[in-house]
Amino acid sequence: MAKHLARVAKTANGAGLSRWIRNLSSVASPSAKTMDSTSSIDLEGEYTMPKMLTEVPGPRSRQLFLELSDIQNCGSVNFFGDYKLSKGNYIVDVDGNIILDFFMQIASISLGYNHPALLEVLRNKENAEVFVNRPALGMFPPGDYPQRLRQALLSIAPQEMTQVYTMGCGSCGNEFAFKLIWAWYMSVKRHGNPPTVQELESCINNQAPGSPPLSVLSFKGSMHGRTMAAMNCTHSRWQVKLDNPGLDWPIAKWPELKYPLEEFVAENQAEEEACLATVEELIADHTKSGRNVAAILVEPVQAEGGDHHASPAFFRGLQQITEKYGMAFMVDEVQTGLGATGKLWCHEHWDLPTPPDVVSFGKKMGLGGFFYKDKLRIKEAGRIFNTWVGDPAKVLLLETVVKVIQEQNLIEHCRNTGEVLQEGIKDLEKRFPGQICNARGLATFAAADMKDTETRDGTIRELRNRGIQIGHCGPTSLRFRPSLIAQPKHIHIFLDGLERLLTEQRQ
């Protein structure tokens, strides 16, 4: 079985280790401000360094693992957390280990653990009713909901996006964004006329013309979620896919760029252009057989797949293709959104002539959903709808997260911290050749590769036993996802720990 896994992992993620690495100079600001901004970011009572009492998982975690195993297959559990004691950038486990967390619940915690501003939301008695009365937002929203959507969501909307829907999670954000896109695509085909009786009747039984064979184009190595439509756009790991029926939707090759970029400018440009050409071919093929492709869906960085980057020019090329064929350009910012890449939204790095048509979100936002341009607005009521359509409690928390990000300039802070992180990794790359390579990233949204899966997995386990939690992605990548309040002092603890381990591994 292990053999299968390794083999498939290789197939799914491509053979090459070379990646496009963003030129840091355009992202990082002068670091003069770092000290000012970080001083206010310090959390009272945060631990000063990791402190380990047991290996991880420790005896208490192992006992709880057995208890949870009675109820469900929980084989992916790493350890059990003590979220009362966790604070800021440190997670504490049930065995009392204090661990610097550079994975942050799969990149879904923005302000670290138990941030005082969020605890204050809970302590405010006025807010209790928001948490205990979950309304059906599509029918009976609370009176303050338009204002809350404006403060928590529209205040951080990508440019030109005045429209937003909230959903429960990132997958649902993507699923409902597809529904919006398909509705828009067919509305254009109908020249704005209402649907026909035949369409309204046939769709009830999953039949054309009401249920047309539309699709969304996705990329090899991508990860967009696990519900059916989202999963059909996901091509990262067999665990997401095996035994689920598959849809014949176009899957394009993701560019495999050679590193270092400056040595392979012409080759990399050619690779990206070849991929763009394949995208056009796939669209033509599908259209020819009557299966129109309504959207191109893309992650700004293929995170789960292995932190695969592509150049801004590639994304601009994708957008041009969508414009040429009357498709939607949809960017999945579930993992990249809300600042960790040094911009609020990662696609802001691309200098697009006009923003994407749809941008979906999840994770750090605390709930799922999507922003979209006016032109995609749906005419008929009740088509983007379910019982909850999001959760006012999560929007309330997000409002505070956004306020803290703005007040503390956390995105600029993140660029500065990311500079320290990335220069540190690059330095290790130089000093430990053959052990760590392909340092890459945008601000603190960073990664590096090791020589093989076994070494990578062992490194993550051993780092954790020494009090540093990072993630993995793709077959050989170390995934770094500090919170937005990580500071250079945290980066140095991490770099020191990694350096010590690499030194030992070399011996």
Does 366 sit near a copy of itself (CB under 8 A)? Answer: yes
Q: Which listed residue (51, 324, 375, 383) binds a copy of itself by CB under 8 A?
A: 383
Whose CA is closest to 225, among 158, 285, 174, 162? 174
Least distance to a copy of itself, CB of residue 144, Å: 9
Residue nearer to a copy of itself on the CB measure, 10 or 316: 10
Q: Which listed residue (35, 49, 53, 200) binds a copy of itself by CB under 8 A?
A: 200
Segment interacting with a copy of itself (CB under 8 A) among 33-41, 140-148, 274-282, 418-426: 140-148
CA distance linking residue 438 with residue 306, whole number of Å: 11
Residue nearer to a copy of itself on the CB measure, 245 or 434: 245
Q: Which listed residue (176, 219, 315, 432) binds a copy of itself by CB under 8 A?
A: 176
Residue nearer to a copy of itself on the CB measure, 234 or 268: 234
Does 15 sit near a copy of itself (CB under 8 A)? Answer: no
Least distance to a copy of itself, CB of residue 441, Å: 20
* Interface of this chain with a copy of itself, residues 465 to 504, rule: CB under 8 A: none
Does 403 sit near a copy of itself (CB under 8 A)? Answer: no
Q: Which listed residue (35, 136, 277, 284) binds a copy of itself by CB under 8 A?
A: 136
* Interface of this chain with a copy of itself, residues 43 to 62, rule: CB under 8 A: 60
Q: Packing angle between helix 145-152 and helix 392-407, nearest 10 degrees?
A: 40
* Interface of this chain with a copy of itself, residues 222 to 251, rule: CB under 8 A: 225-230, 232, 235-249, 251
Whose CA is closest to 176, among 137, 221, 141, 125? 137
Least distance to a copy of itself, CB of residue 369, Å: 10
Task: Name the residue with tokens 């992605």.
Answer: 473
* Interface of this chain with a copy of itself, residues 67 to 106, rule: CB under 8 A: 67-68, 70-84, 86, 91, 94, 105-106
Q: Sheet with 477-480: list strands edge to edge.
A: 437-442, 445-449, 477-480, 471-473
Neighbouring CB atoms inside 10 A of 298's CB total 25
CA distance linking residue 430 with residue 122, whole number of Å: 47
Segment interacting with a copy of itself (CB under 8 A) among 20-28, 375-383, 418-426, 480-488: 375-383
Q: What are phi and psi of 487, to 5 degrees?
A: -120, 165
Least distance to a copy of itself, CB of residue 279, Å: 16
Does 378 sit near a copy of itself (CB under 8 A)? Answer: yes
The token pair that represents 182 in the structure block? 């398909």
CA distance linking residue 327 with residue 322, whole number of Å: 5
Residue nearer to a copy of itself on the CB measure, 214 or 279: 214
Least distance to a copy of itself, CB of residue 318, Å: 20
Cα separation values, 123 from 45, 120, 179, 367, 373, Å: 18, 5, 38, 21, 37
Q: Which listed residue (158, 362, 467, 482) binds a copy of itself by CB under 8 A?
A: 362
**3-state secondary structure labels for all residues of 262-290:** HHCHHHHHHHHHHHHHHHHHHHHHHHHCC
Q: What 3-state DSSP class applies to 113?
A: strand
Cα separation values, 147 from 119, 127, 153, 395, Å: 22, 15, 10, 11
Residue nearer to a copy of itself on the CB measure, 143 or 434: 143
Does 119 sit near a copy of itself (CB under 8 A)? Answer: yes
Least distance to a copy of itself, CB of residue 374, Å: 10
Q: What 3-state DSSP class applies to 443?
A: coil
Does 287 sit near a copy of itself (CB under 8 A)? Answer: no
